[in-house]
Chain A
């Protein structure tokens, strides 16, 4: 049992400005939470406060129901994996993994069996006698993880653990973390600025910007119901396209007017938009939700076509901006030349409508009716 509760946490490094503003979240026992956001948004700061490495300026932190604000890191029973691995260079792999247990005066035999068990899980058995500098990046990362799991911590903190690895290794380690999570089944708080990691690992994602939570939700929710333009643009690759448009009511029905083309919004959006006044809006459409086709009501000119294997990304000039359209290679009979004229259509179900003024999503979701 190890829930983590942050209540109105604030952090100031200089007593003038705040790096974290009013951060509140309740993390359930055994939940895998991912903090994601651009560089400098305060992800590490939050993690360090949970670990006890940074003081909490204001607010309350509970682990397992106990107030932790003034508890030393060594007494919080948490483990942390750092981006830099932070292995002890003068100790062997075994020594690194055994360090915490030795400090607790765990009996030798038990240390030995726990370290060996962790090494087995992580495929490190062969390397137990090596020094960290004799290992590859991926192996070092495993040692760092191993060092954390031998302790059987209540909460597992990870600060961008994969960002020093190359793309292929990162994908591999990502799935290993998923497997690991199934095996050790404890609470995870994972920091990353990589949204793919966030989407694939998290039970819930916390999207942050400038020290504030933008949105908390399952990967699904964050992807299909972004609460504001920032989250909409941050989650999903390639990025969501944004266009200036007008929200209009015609015959009592909400429609989107983009560059003179009227798109009628579907029934669920009609409900969600209830009582929103007609106004200039920013409409967001994901590249993968745009359909190419001769019958399309919109037209544009291809600037660049990027062939990525399974998909083609078309950069298209249209409606006075640049838009990216993702086309499944399977559906593209021929390649696209730059300068080529294309037409496409937007599906009202996949259009997100944000207030031009506040950047907030204008839809109010009735949770439960959602099926995408």
Chain B
């Protein structure tokens, strides 16, 4: 009985690993497999390795520009959304901040979260068009902010609600001004939440496609998801290596960011204190 339980566990484990790990492995393998190995029966392990796809990506497809665009859009929108989102969430959860628009504001956030993103495309398109922004990266940036601020507010509201309020009362009595209270007590305690929300918002912005495909019109402004999409179609789907290399290249910055967020962001915000 026990033996069966154990082998069942191992079996399930293997299945899960295959389902989740194999596609990633296959992508990696494809990106370094020479072209002539891609026809007919494809071996599990590439017999020789090449970096030609990566080279082509940067020389022929101008991938570095896409990379730069993506970084720009993601990081700038992230910075804006974080500052506004975290502050808004704090103000919304604390009873001592009272203002009339509090309820409508809460409601607005819910609405933006509930409506499918596509619902905003037409009004946004009209706005961006009138403002003459369609030839720039700004629409991509703004649409990331539009989606991320409500998300951050939503997430952080529940986080702030769980922080014991006595700690803040204590700090106020200890003489902390509103700003000192926020930066020295609230932010450090919220660091794990902020780190999580930072990663998720960055990922959203990095992978954003729905809006970019509509609002970003000139190829010089293409972000990585848009560039990847063109790779898929142009060479009539035969150039798997290039697509795979693009996929890998789009994941690397994210990995770097996650590592950064885990190691430095939390430590930086909390002064190395929440490392438990």
Contact = CB atoms under 8 A, between A and B. Distances in A.
* Chain A complexes with chain B: yes
A52 B273 CA distance: 30
B180 A80 contact: no
B165 to A, nearest CB: 9
Contact of B173 (A80, A90, A131): A80
A99 B174 contact: yes
B170 A86 contact: yes
A104 B175 CA distance: 8
Contact of A151 (B169, B174, B184): B174
A188 to B, nearest CB: 15
A83 B167 CA distance: 11
B166 interface: yes
A82 B175 contact: no
A88 B171 contact: yes
A61 B147 CA distance: 48
B270 A73 contact: no
B175 A84 contact: no
Contacts, number: 68
A90 B189 contact: yes
Given A90-B188, A90-B270, A74 B170 contact: no
B172 interface: yes
B164 A86 contact: yes
A103 B169 contact: no
Contacts of B177: 74
B174 A131 contact: no
B175 A86 contact: no
B168 to A, nearest CB: 8
A69 to B, nearest CB: 16
Contact of A88 (B172, B173, B185, B276): B185
A280 B107 CA distance: 61
A80 B175 contact: no
Interface in B164-206: 164, 166-167, 169-177, 180, 184-185, 188-189
A100 B175 contact: yes
B172 A73 contact: yes
Contacts of A86: 164, 166-167, 169-170
Contacts of A84: 164, 166
Contacts of A119: none
B190 to A, nearest CB: 11
Contacts of A78: 173
Given A90-B271, A90-B273, A151-B174, A80 B189 contact: no
A74 B174 CA distance: 6
B174 A53 contact: no
Interface string A48-64: 10011100000000000
B269 to A, nearest CB: 10
| Size bracket, chain A contacts | 20 to 34
Contact of A103 (B166, B174, B270, B276): B174
B251 interface: no
A48 B170 CA distance: 11
A147 interface: yes
Contacts of A80: 169-170, 173
Interface string A130-154: 0101000000000000010001000
B274 interface: yes
A197 to B, nearest CB: 20
Given A90-B189, A91-B273, A131-B273, A74 B167 contact: no
Given A86-B167, A86-B169, A74 B273 contact: no
Interface string A147-179: 100010000000000000000000000000000
B273 A73 contact: no
B176 A88 contact: no
Nearest to A85: B166
Interface in A251-309: none
Q: Which residue, of A76, A84, A88, A131, has the highest number of chain B Cβ atoms within 10 A?
A: A88
Contacts of B172: 52-53, 72-74
A53 B169 contact: yes
Given A91-B273, A131-B273, A74 B185 contact: no
A55 to B, nearest CB: 9
Contact of A79 (B166, B173, B180): B173
A347 B164 CA distance: 52
Nearest to B272: A90
Nearest to B174: A100
Nearest to B276: A133
Contacts of A72: 172
B276 to A, nearest CB: 8
Nearest to B274: A90
B220 to A, nearest CB: 46
Nearest to A150: B174
A89 interface: yes
A103 B175 contact: yes
Nearest to B269: A90
9 contacts: A74-B174, A78-B173, A80-B170, A86-B166, A86-B169, A89-B189, A99-B171, A99-B176, A103-B176
Given A74-B173, A88-B167, A99-B176, 9 more contacts: A72-B172, A73-B169, A73-B173, A80-B170, A82-B169, A86-B167, A90-B189, A100-B175, A103-B176
Interface of A: 48, 51-53, 72-74, 76, 78-80, 82-84, 86-91, 99-100, 103-104, 131, 133, 147, 151
Interface of B: 164, 166-167, 169-177, 180, 184-185, 188-189, 270-271, 273-274, 276
Closest 7 A-B residue pairs measured CB to CB? A90-B273, A86-B166, A100-B174, A86-B170, A74-B175, A103-B175, A90-B188
